[in-house]
Amino acid sequence: MHIGFIGLGNMGAPMARNLLAAGHRLSVHDLSAPAVAGLAQAGATVADSPAALAREVELIITMLPASAHVKGVYLGEDGLLAQVRPGVMLIDSSTIDPLSAREVAAAAREHGNPMLDAPVSGGTAGAAAGTLTFMVGGETADFERARPVLAAMGKNIVHCGPAGNGQVAKVANNMLLGISMIGVAEAMSLGVALGMEPKVLAGVINSSSGRCWSSDSYNPFPGVMDNVPAAHGYSGGFGTDLMLKDLGLASEAARQARQPVILGALAQQLYQAFSAQGNGALDFSAIVNLYRKDANA
Ligand code: NAD
């Protein structure tokens, strides 16, 4: 299939490479010349604008930072909808708020283009390994058409319901992740302050009712696990500022739905405070340093 890919950043570049590896023809666009050059070297054709790319391809995937970029690329003057042929499928894998996703999908539908929101989890490692989870919103028939393409980049591909529901699943999951990480940080810090060995305490939690992904797969306390950001100064992983962005999306979606997210809002403020102290680039599990008496950060 001839696929167009826009947004070749930390996530988009490895995803695009996996499409090439699966044998698809690829046209790419990004504002960053080095990002485009990397994919051109790997065999992709370069397009100068979203509109130019739209004229060439059978399906388009976007992987952009936030709602404003997505709206610009789809709805802008030189945007995708200005040039794309009706019937070409559009898939946005960026993480944006559900209502913006529904707005862009409605504009695409009016133009005669099926559109899916398909945000991912799994991070840059999952993008490189082709093991991402895709949370997909849109019509069932469109989901089935897109599934083989998404399967070249991901392992779990879940249809979450109509347009916007992929983003709904993503913000709900990430809000819970942000909250659970703070819960584990708080409980571990309390136990250690009261004299427990972090590893022994984590072992108890992980075989008891407090167990969760933040405690057993991504423990924030140093010395508990290898191969997690806590083992190497909280570098790599999922940045505090990215978590903050996702909690902002959850808060905004909650405001629009008039649904209270009390712990989500509190978590947002804690990560905000941590980021304001200069820690935005650290992995989000570094939030444990807000609690640790011996932490420097
Ligand atoms: P990134 O900033 O590394 O990449 C974004 C790319 O989009 C950049 O190359 C940028 O030049 C390009 N871009 C921006 N505006 C553009 C425009 N108007 N036209 C063309 N290209 C444009 O971001 P990322 O880490 O790849 O994340 C992308 C999306 O995936 C975000 O919504 C993020 O929240 C989500 N996400 C990221 C991770 C992660 O671990 N990094 C995990 C899951 C989801």
Task: Write out pLDDT tens, residues 164-185.
Answer: 999 999 999 999 999 999 999 9
State which of 27, 30, 131, 241 you would mutate to test the pocket of ligand 1, scoring each by most atoms of that ligand within 8 A of its C-beta: 30
Is the pLDDT assigned to residue 45 strictly greater than 90?
yes
Residue 42, pLDDT score: 95
Report how far ligand 1's centroid is from the alpha carbon of 66 (Å): 8
Give the position, in ligand 1's atom list, of the atom nearest the Cα of 245: 34
> What phi, psi does 152 have (nearest 5°)?
-75, -15
13 neighbors 39 (Cβ within 8 angstroms): yes
Query: What value does the mean pLDDT take over residues 196-208?
Result: 98
Decide yes or no: CATH 4.10.520.10 for domain 168-290. no
Is the pLDDT assigned to residue 297 strictly greater than 70?
no
Percentage of residues in the chain with pLDDT exceeding 70?
Answer: 99
Is the CB of 272 inside a 6 Å radius of any atom of ligand 1?
A: no
State which of 5, 6, 8, 11 you would mutate to test the pocket of ligand 1, scoring each by most atoms of that ligand within 8 A of its C-beta: 11
Residue 74, pLDDT score: 97
Catalytic positions, please?
170
Is the pLDDT assigned to residue 9 strictly greater than 70?
yes
Q: Which residues of the chain form CATH 3.40.50.720?
A: 2-162
The topology under which CATH files domain 2-162 is: Rossmann fold (3.40.50)
> What phi, psi does 189 have (nearest 5°)?
-65, -40
Q: At a CB cut-off of 8 Å and minimum separation 6, what does 34 contact? A: none
> What phi, psi does 258 have (nearest 5°)?
50, 45
Instruction: For residue 237, name the pLDDT band (cuts at 50, 70, 90).
Output: confident
Is the CB of 29 inside a 6 Å radius of any atom of ligand 1?
A: yes
Report how far ligand 1's centroid is from the alpha carbon of 10 (Å): 7
Query: What value does the mean pLDDT take over residues 32-56?
Result: 94
39 neighbors 28 (Cβ within 8 angstroms): yes
| pTM score over 0.90 | yes
Instruction: For residue 296, name the pLDDT band (cuts at 50, 70, 90).
Output: low
State which of 8, 10, 74, 97 you would mutate to test the pocket of ligand 1, scoring each by most atoms of that ligand within 8 A of its C-beta: 10
Instruction: For residue 152, name the pLDDT band (cuts at 50, 70, 90).
Output: very high
Query: What value does the mean pLDDT take over residues 245-262?
Result: 95
Is the pLDDT assigned to residue 191 strictly greater than 60?
yes
Measure the CA–CA gap between 98 and 166, rounded to whole angstroms. 8
Is the CB of 117 inside a 6 Å radius of any atom of ligand 1?
A: no
Query: What value does the mean pLDDT take over residues 254-266?
Result: 96
